Amino acid sequence: MKLQGVGLICAGGATGSFLARLPSLLARLGPVKASSFRIARQVSHSLRAGQAASHYSALEPCPIVCVWVPDSSLDRTLRDFAAQTPIDKTMVVLCESARESGSPSPLKSTSARVATLHPVPELREGMFVAEGHPDVLRALHALLAEDGRKLIELKCGSKPLFFAGVHFASPLLLPWIAAAVDSLRASGLTRAEAVAVGEHLGARMLHRYAKAGERVWNSKTAASLRRALEHDLEAIRRHDPRLPELYEQGIRIALARF
């Protein structure tokens, strides 16, 4: 599938998005539409690709249009796009939006084929996830493959689960990571030593889980946690009153889960 003349609808700061680091897309970039011609010209100049457009109608010839705007202004942007541009099965890619392709949208009343695209966090944009119209997903597969990037297709309606997995594996771990470092430091380790031990243990647990799944959990682990729950909380509280609540909560969640 040839995708010459890819269009871009963007907000200011698009040069900081993953779009600016996809040579395959930049080589095909055509009209760039922003909230003003000045911003569109700045974006095109910074990307060293595409041509600034003053009107959405400039996007009409584009077989695929990438949209990179905040979700707060997405509906307004798509409404203007649909009102000012004849859309004949145009492939529209919503980039880094929390929306799903099937969510209510001003494009619903058009023939647009819609998908959403996200880089997987912390993987240096080497892996992406997408969901939406099969034709758009095939086009994205081909486009990203040119740059050696991998694309994983999400199941319909599963974006909340993807975001949950990302959050479980990253920011939701932070309280426990901080508590682990604080506990190790309170026991006598330096901060550098505590961080090194925590990093090693965390990496080892993830490696073991990758190989064995839930079988990594065993009765010895459960017994150790129950003993800590019954005997250690008060001693920990004397050293740091912030830790016992989180420790107890973590133990009870783990025992209930496994």
- CATH code for the part of the protein at 6-159: 3.40.50.720
Cα–Cα distance between 68 and 122 in angstroms, integer?
Answer: 20
pLDDT digits (tens, 9 = 90+) for 126-147: 999 999 999 999 999 999 999 9
Name the residue among 51, 101, 49 with its Cα closest to residue 74: 101
Query: Is 63 or 4 the better-scoring residue by pLDDT?
Result: 63
SS3 for 68?
strand
Every domain of the chain and the residues it spans: 6-159, 169-257
Q: What is the mean pLDDT of the chain?
A: 93
Cα–Cα distance between 52 and 48 in angstroms, integer?
Answer: 11
When pLDDT is cut at 50, 70 and 90, the band that residue 223 belongs to is very high
The pLDDT of residue 15: 82
pTM: 0.87
Long-range pairs for 86-89 at CB < 8 Å and ≥24 separation?
86/57, 86/60, 87/111, 87/112, 89/113
CA 48 to centroid of chain Cα atoms: 26
Q: Do 107 and 136 meet the contact criterion of CB atoms below 8 Å apart?
A: no
The yes-or-no verdict on residue 173 having pLDDT over 80 is: yes
pLDDT digits (tens, 9 = 90+) for 192-208: 999 999 999 999 999 99
Instruction: Enumerate the H helices of 85-158 as residue ranges.
Output: 134-146
Cα–Cα distance between 226 and 247 in angstroms, integer?
Answer: 12
